[in-house]
Structure 1
Amino acid sequence: MTAILRTLRLALVLLALSLVALGGNGPVFAQEATPATATASGIDYEAWESEATRIENLLEAGTASTSFFENLRETLVNWRARFLDAESANSTRINTLQAQIDALGAPPAEGETEPDAIAERRATLNTQLQEAQVPRVEASQAYTRADGLITEIDNLLSARQQQQLLELAPSPANPVNWPPTLTGLTALAGSLQSDFMGRLNNPAQREQFLQSAPVLVVMLLVALVALLRGRLWTHRLTDRLEAHTRERGRPTLVFFVSLLQMLIPLVGLILVLGAFVASGLIGPSAQSLLEALAALMTASYFALWLGGRLFPDGDLPMGVLELDGTQRARARRIFFIIGFFVGLAVVMQTIAAMDEVPPAAQGVLQLPVYAGLALFFWRASRLLQSGRTETGEDESPGFMRRILSLVQRLLILVAVAGPALAVVGYVNMAESLMVPTALSLAIFGVLVALQPVVRDLYAIAFRTTHDSASEALLPIVVNFLLAFGAFPFFALTWGVRPEQLAEVYARFWEGFTIGEARITPGNIFAVVLFFALGYVATRLLQGALRSTVLPRTKLDTGARNAVTSGVGYVGIGLAAVIAITAGGIDLTALGFVLGALSVGIGFGLQNVVNNFVSGIILLIERPISEGDWIEVGSYMGIVKRISVRSTRIETFDKTDVIVPNADFIAGTVTNWTRGNTIGRAVITVGVAYGTDTRKVEKILMEIVRENPVVAAFPEPGVDFLGFGADSLDFRIRAILRDVNQMLSVKTEIHHRIAERFAEEGIEIPFAQRDIWLRNPEALRPTPRTVGQDDEEIDLEAEQPQIEEAMTQDDATPDGPEDT
């Protein structure tokens, strides 16, 4: 029950502090009436000194109760918030005076003088500056003192909490403690009965009950319907909706409709409690017991709802868990029983805290609950073990599988350690282990149940399918943020006091200091907001230039892209500067840090900076543009995109090549289509010796002129290059209207040359070589046996001699011998 109440208090504290932080004036409950002796900053430092001294004396004694120290801590938090505001209350005046002093120039060096008027003015301003800084100094000192006292109270309360956990109570396993427990329960029942009968026999209370009886009956009837039929009706509706869970929006609708399975019975419980309280027939003890019973039913209904969300009926996919219908039904029962035992623990804690029950009865009442929780923790761990899907030999387990494996081991550990601690007598420690484990399991289950809802909302927002939403990054980021937001609830469940969480939250909103500048979440939010607005405005301006303004100019595509990219870089840079300034962050305060980092950044990112500067040069000079056919290094292709770091080229093999921009500036680049698409094609061909060269020249000229891509002016030409080793060599020179068709033009001209030469009987020679042998006698046939065919030659036998003769050096003074 304590953990549940802490969770509710946490939500209220976080909500209050959020409103305070957004208001920017500190906690609203800290604005107390300003005494008559308050200073100009609105703070009575004499009253603070008296209050701080009193609290220091109480801390030194350390005898006050825990609740008293919690109240003192709240008072200190109020003082500290006022001191924090006072630190920056006079900052505008101080900045103005400092600017006036700086405007006078640097003070004279030793041995030098300045005009009397300037010296007098400087002295006056320095005096005013010192007086203006006094409230800031006083507030800073008081803030430090208040913060230190808060830390001392937190340490004292934490020490008491640890001492309570280590308190050794009578062992509940000892039979000696059982009769006092039974006697205490009997006394409690008698006390409740006598209190009820006393109130019933009281004429005034009986009259009040009779007057409100009709309303009470109606409330009880509505509550009875809500408790008995409400969950059943909503469960049927949820089952009908789950039949179409693959449709967009349906999982979210199913989730919110399923919440009625828990909310409607809760309304019934509230009506029951309200009816009993309004009747006036129950006292404080009976009311506490009814609230504990309501907590028991709430935990049970919540466990039923969560089990239905995590382990639904049917054959729906379970992600990392592979459970059949029987296992899912067993999992739902396990969740329900764990929730029931958590509520039962609250009931037992409430009974043990009543005056009629002796302290030794606490362990006796709690031990059966912890034993039941341990049993079903063990069963839940076995279920997780059997439901985890196995991974292959080369496949590493996913994140969720590792989390489930960790949860399984922790459940086994708690199932063994919790009852053991209770049996020994450490009942408080067992309570702080068993119940928080169950609550943490519930929080973890809620996070898992929210994942389909997040994916479905993403699919609705971006008009995509559930499969695509499952592969998207944004739903994963949102789920991680939800898990991060659940950390305070985990901490509160495990014994962290709400005041400690509020302290962490207050520290977070106070921010951190760099130099003389304080960076707060409000500043960061303002920076992000203004930068986002500037970024969106820049993209809108780029879109307008790209689609509306620049197409109406005479600029080519490359120039348009350069202008658009330049506007984008300038706009983003201005957005960053404006955002930082609007967030109240002084850039001079960050100058020292940025200067120290710039040295390391300069060495580590020199290649990146080199490519960035080269990209800027490419966008300004535009030696290449998007759509150009270029050749850089060993790569040739079409320029697809020019960015500030690299350029993407699509080769003719349809592969993308990312080339650093520095290669375009420092290396040699061939641009085949720079400015226009006109280019020259060169084709060489050889004919056999003895061919009429004039006829060949005429044929080649006719072939090249008949191609439609070849330009008539300048007219193509055919050159007789000379006498080659094997042929008479000719060269065709032709200017193409579109150099992008060079390959097809060359192919067509080659076909025409082969066809025309075949028609005209012109031979295209190929290389020939004559072989001269130094020792021809080595090829003479070897003696053969009688009867062998005279025309047969044993080539296999002659092969070694032939190879030896061919490898011998023939460059001898005697010269080669003709064979």
Structure 2
Amino acid sequence: MRCVGVFVCVFMVWAGLLSAQGISDAEMERWQALTQRVEAAVDDEDTTSETLDALRLELVSYREQFDEAKDVNATRIASLREQIAQLGDPPTEEDAAPEAEEVAQKRSELEEQLATLLAPVQVTESAYTSADGLIEEIDAELRDRQTEALFEVVGSPLNPVHWATGLEALKNAFSGLWVHVTPDEAEQRAKTLQRKLPVILLSVIIGLVLLFRGRRWSKRFIQQVRNSTSRGLSIWQFVISLMRIVVPFFGLSLLTYAAHQTGYLGDLGEQLIVVIPTWGAVMLGFRWVSEQAFAREEEVALIKLQKSERAEARFLIGGITLFLVIGGILQQIIILDGGDNLTRSVVSFPFNLVIAYGLFRIGRLLRQYNNDTAVDEEGSPRASTINRLVRSLGLASIVVAIAAPLLQAAGYYNASSALLFPTILTLIVLGLVLALQRFGADVYGAITGQGAQAREALVPILIGMALLLMVLPVLALVWGARVSDLTEIWAAFKRGFAVGDSRISPTDFITFAAIFTVGYLATRLTQGVLKTNVLPKTGIDKGGQNAVVSGVGYVGIFLAALAAITGAGIDLSSLAIVAGALSVGIGFGLQNIVSNFVSGIILLIERPISEGDWIEVSNGQMGYVRDISVRSTRIETFDRTDVIVPNADLVSGTVTNYTRGNTLGRLIVQVGVAYGSDTRKVEKILQEIANAHPMALANPAPSVLFLNFGASSLDFEIRIFLRDVNWIMVVKNDVNHEIAKRFMEEGIEIPFAQQDVWLRNPEALRGEPKTNQENNTTKASEAALQDAAKGATPDDSEGEGDR
């Protein structure tokens, strides 16, 4: 009893605290009762899955309430913690001076208020954790039951013993489609039918016309549009093709309405007639997707196969859809009549066998798909993503088409159904994605004016990726996922993920993106105003203007990121240690990039070079500066090629700036004249040529120097200071032309290199006969060479002869 009393007291305190935060006592009592019912239901094996789903919905509702209650008074709690932090750490036993009485009293009051506000938050967090745990238990139980049902073994449909049972159950089910009435009730129903007969006949006639003529009308309409316009034709074809679904579906709905108005349908028939339009929509939708994927016109088809193969694919999909609808209606009749899985397996096996065969044939067609137009470096075809995807789907279809009938024949009816029909639905959904992606590409092409070429652009690819993300939940449901599983994933996504002590939710991310986008656009707008309107009216040179614009951009982006982080409420203080550790690794791994970045900032601040300057770097590259970024500088050489120079090389290396500050520069032209020329006359002519050029400065005046006596010429040099050094090559060209002209007029020779060649024996070239003395000299020389080869000198040989 004492424990019960303690529990009651704790519960009352808990309820009181939560009540203060907006959760009433009655609500807490219902929560306690719900937890007890959930625990009992989870422990009871006889609890149905529908009951567990209902209890789960209630738990989710309470969990959302607790999640919202956790944030109550969050601002006040943060304020109290900040005030306590401002008081400093309380003194320890080792401290000599005690804490002031006013500070200690204030600290006690703040801590008491904080504890009062934290108590309901902590209790709410505990309740939230409890609700979350119970939801996980229910999900685990439902998944276990789903797995058990998937591998449930029923009788084999190949066993003839089960055929009679299945046919009898199907016969009884069909008998329940019609109402059984007495003769008096039949007469009354006949009168009612006679009164409603005009409406019924009109609905039947219109329904049949729309059902069987709607497709032809849509085809004729498309042909008229194709003949009347060419702009946006693919868009109109796509829109009008939807009539092949809408018009027959409307006709099928009218037929369903007419059958309902007869009054002869029983309870089972009334329930079945409701789902027939749905099955009709499925059949029409499947057929529409097949006509888009395997269209008759090759340029319209999404899957590029041969014409006969596309026709075969359309036929197979039509057959699969027909048997799928018939089998589905029979399955629905058996389910509404309360038939078991054995009956459903026996009845559906022939239909599933035909469907599997059609799926096998489609898989073989998809395996033959080859639309690769790209080639690799060696010239061989390179498999594209769509090509690999289609072939993989073809292989998967073949495997499923073989495995599903075998599983059903072995008695695994649920496993076979969970494998065969989701595969077909997956193929249809992916075909629908391809069709919508093509439609989006055509719309983008019509807007941008690119036409059919827009299908190869980046935007259609992004549209396809977005469509795939959108259909992922649908595919998950097709393959057995429960709606509660998707809602749980969405709830976890909304709660966000933890980063240190902060939790980043999608709302925080959207807030961050919105604030950063606004800041970024404001920065770009400011840069544009400065560049076009403000800075050109100042006395700042072009390089300084670019530096100001770049600096404003960096500062603006930094402030935008800072404002976005602050506005989203992201606390990055807990990541300081991790960021410090990462910065060390980044510093070593990206030191060159960081060095270039810092060098770029230095270049923009000090501006030793500016855009438009003619520079020469230490590696010999010469040209005009065209762009200075934070990492590198782009130089355009005189042969119109771009050279990317890292900023660190410009800061730490030697750079020659020919046009920094002013465009003055000196031109040196060297020229040589022949020996014997009048040097004073040459000097005068060269001086006149230099002074006459319009680009030459008068102060300092051009000068002519007689440098030295060369090997073949008398060397002179003209030195001219130019008004604009950028014209140095043009001026040099003009001066050389003028020198050649004046020297020719004055008879002054410009020599070329000369060399004298001395021949030791010119008679050998003329072929003259040798004299006796020359012959004796030649023989003596030959004898001396022979004695030298034997190791003796000519003197030794002569001495030995004398002795």
The alignment's TM-score, normalised by the length of structure 2, stands at 0.87
The match for 1:645 among 631, 651, 658 is 631
For 1:370, the equivalent position in structure 2 comes to 352
The match for 1:433 among 404, 419, 431 is 419
Q: CA–CA distance in 2 between the matches of 1:645 and 1:308?
A: 53
Q: CA deviation at 1:164?
A: 0.9
Q: Secondary structure at the match of 1:343?
A: helix
For 1:233, the equivalent position in structure 2 comes to 217
- Per-residue CA deviation, residues 304-350 of structure 1 (Å, 9 max, x unaligned), is 211222222334154662433x3333222222222223323321321
For 2:234, the equivalent position in structure 1 comes to 251
Describe the shift of the 1:181–1:61 C-alpha distance in structure 2 as closer, same or farther (beyond 3 A). closer
Q: CA deviation at 1:274?
A: 4.1
Q: CA deviation at 1:558?
A: 1.4
Counterpart check, 1:345 vs 2:327: yes
Larger-gyration structure (1/2): 2
Describe the shift of the 1:357–1:478 C-alpha distance in structure 2 as closer, same or farther (beyond 3 A). closer
Matched-pair contact (CA < 8 Å) for 1:515–1:590: yes
Q: CA–CA distance in 2 between the matches of 1:203 and 1:125?
A: 87
Structural mapping, 1:762-801, within 5 Å: 762-771=748-757, 776=761
Q: CA deviation at 1:202?
A: 6.8
The match for 2:691 among 705, 715, 737 is 705
Counterpart check, 1:223 vs 2:197: no
Q: Secondary structure at the match of 1:453?
A: helix
For 2:38, the equivalent position in structure 1 comes to 55
Q: CA–CA distance in 2 between the matches of 1:784 and 1:161?
A: 121
Describe the shift of the 1:281–1:669 C-alpha distance in structure 2 as closer, same or farther (beyond 3 A). same
The match for 2:312 among 330, 335, 346 is 330
Q: CA deviation at 1:435?
A: 0.7
Counterpart check, 1:95 vs 2:78: yes
Describe the shift of the 1:581–1:207 C-alpha distance in structure 2 as closer, same or farther (beyond 3 A). farther
For 1:161, the equivalent position in structure 2 comes to 146
Q: CA deviation at 1:128?
A: 1.0
Name which of structure 1's ranges 130-139 and 494-503 shifts more when overlaid on structure 2.
Answer: 130-139
Aligned-partner residue type, residue 338 of structure 1: I
Q: CA deviation at 1:577?
A: 1.3
For 2:158, the equivalent position in structure 1 comes to 173
- Per-residue CA deviation, residues 163-189 of structure 1 (Å, 9 max, x unaligned), is 111111111111222122222222223
Q: CA–CA distance in 1 between the matches of 2:54 and 2:279?
A: 31
For 2:399, the equivalent position in structure 1 comes to 413
Structural mapping, 1:432-471, within 5 Å: 432-467=418-453, 469-471=454-456
Aligned-partner residue type, residue 414 of structure 1: V
Q: CA–CA distance in 2 between the matches of 1:242 and 1:412?
A: 38
- Per-residue CA deviation, residues 586-631 of structure 1 (Å, 9 max, x unaligned), is 2334434433332222222222121111111111222222122211
Name which of structure 1's ranges 633-642 and 331-340 shifts more when overlaid on structure 2.
Answer: 331-340
For 1:77, the equivalent position in structure 2 comes to 60
Matched-pair contact (CA < 8 Å) for 2:438–2:460: no
The match for 1:389 among 364, 368, 371 is 371
Counterpart check, 1:757 vs 2:743: yes
Q: CA deviation at 1:517?
A: 1.4
For 1:116, the equivalent position in structure 2 comes to 101
Describe the shift of the 1:200–1:143 C-alpha distance in structure 2 as closer, same or farther (beyond 3 A). farther
Q: Secondary structure at the match of 2:623?
A: strand
Q: CA deviation at 1:480?
A: 0.9
Q: CA–CA distance in 2 between the matches of 1:356 and 1:121?
A: 73
- Per-residue CA deviation, residues 239-282 of structure 1 (Å, 9 max, x unaligned), is 444568963x4333332222222122223333443444465543
Aligned-partner residue type, residue 481 of structure 1: A
Name which of structure 1's ranges 454-463 and 556-565 shifts more when overlaid on structure 2.
Answer: 454-463
Q: CA–CA distance in 1 between the matches of 2:184 and 2:559?
A: 77
Q: CA–CA distance in 2 between the matches of 1:319 and 1:779?
A: 89
The alignment's TM-score, normalised by the length of structure 1, stands at 0.86
Q: CA deviation at 1:500?
A: 0.6
Q: CA deviation at 1:713?
A: 3.1
Q: CA–CA distance in 2 between the matches of 1:347 and 1:185?
A: 12
Matched-pair contact (CA < 8 Å) for 1:677–1:738: yes
For 1:533, the equivalent position in structure 2 comes to 518
Q: CA deviation at 1:478?
A: 2.0
For 1:618, the equivalent position in structure 2 comes to 603
For 1:684, the equivalent position in structure 2 comes to 670
Q: CA deviation at 1:757?
A: 2.1
Aligned-partner residue type, residue 731 of structure 1: E
Q: CA–CA distance in 2 between the matches of 1:234 and 1:186?
A: 40
Q: CA–CA distance in 2 between the matches of 1:271 and 1:646?
A: 72
Matched-pair contact (CA < 8 Å) for 2:176–2:269: no
Q: CA deviation at 1:157?
A: 0.9
Q: CA–CA distance in 2 between the matches of 1:732 and 1:37?
A: 99
Q: Secondary structure at the match of 2:19?
A: coil
For 1:719, the equivalent position in structure 2 comes to 705
Unaligned 5+ residue runs, structure 2?
1-13, 771-781, 786-803
For 2:496, the equivalent position in structure 1 comes to 511
Describe the shift of the 1:352–1:767 C-alpha distance in structure 2 as closer, same or farther (beyond 3 A). same
Q: CA–CA distance in 2 between the matches of 1:553 and 1:293?
A: 78
For 1:607, the equivalent position in structure 2 comes to 592
For 2:19, the equivalent position in structure 1 comes to 39
Q: How many residues align?
A: 749
Aligned-partner residue type, residue 739 of structure 1: V
Describe the shift of the 1:253–1:197 C-alpha distance in structure 2 as closer, same or farther (beyond 3 A). farther
For 2:10, the equivalent position in structure 1 comes to none
Q: Secondary structure at the match of 1:673?
A: coil
Describe the shift of the 1:585–1:281 C-alpha distance in structure 2 as closer, same or farther (beyond 3 A). farther
For the aligned residue pairs, the C-alpha RMSD in angstroms reads 2.9
Matched-pair contact (CA < 8 Å) for 2:625–2:633: yes
Name which of structure 1's ranges 614-623 and 284-293 shifts more when overlaid on structure 2.
Answer: 284-293
Name which of structure 1's ranges 595-604 and 648-657 shifts more when overlaid on structure 2.
Answer: 595-604
- Per-residue CA deviation, residues 534-590 of structure 1 (Å, 9 max, x unaligned), is 111211221122222222222222122111111111111111111222222223344
The match for 2:185 among 201, 204, 222 is 201
Describe the shift of the 1:504–1:716 C-alpha distance in structure 2 as closer, same or farther (beyond 3 A). same
Q: CA–CA distance in 2 between the matches of 1:662 and 1:470?
A: 43
Name which of structure 1's ranges 200-209 and 384-393 shifts more when overlaid on structure 2.
Answer: 200-209
Q: CA–CA distance in 2 between the matches of 1:264 and 1:36?
A: 62
Percent of residue pairs bearing the same amino acid type: 42
Q: CA–CA distance in 2 between the matches of 1:578 and 1:765?
A: 76
Q: CA deviation at 1:784?
A: 8.5
Q: CA–CA distance in 1 between the matches of 2:490 and 2:451?
A: 39
Q: CA–CA distance in 1 between the matches of 2:748 and 2:351?
A: 107
Describe the shift of the 1:118–1:600 C-alpha distance in structure 2 as closer, same or farther (beyond 3 A). same
- Per-residue CA deviation, residues 84-128 of structure 1 (Å, 9 max, x unaligned), is 111212211101111221222332243341210110010110111
Q: Which has the higher contact order (CA 8 A, sep 6+)?
A: 1
Counterpart check, 1:552 vs 2:556: no
Matched-pair contact (CA < 8 Å) for 1:180–1:358: no
Q: CA–CA distance in 2 between the matches of 1:256 and 1:733?
A: 79
Q: CA deviation at 1:463?
A: 4.0
Q: Secondary structure at the match of 1:551?
A: helix
For 2:292, the equivalent position in structure 1 comes to 309
Q: CA–CA distance in 1 between the matches of 2:532 and 2:450?
A: 28
Aligned-partner residue type, residue 436 of structure 2: L
Name which of structure 1's ranges 542-551 and 201-210 shifts more when overlaid on structure 2.
Answer: 201-210
Q: CA–CA distance in 1 between the matches of 2:479 and 2:227?
A: 39
The match for 1:283 among 266, 274, 279 is 266
Counterpart check, 1:570 vs 2:555: yes
Matched-pair contact (CA < 8 Å) for 1:320–1:388: no
Aligned-partner residue type, residue 354 of structure 2: G
Aligned-partner residue type, residue 344 of structure 1: I
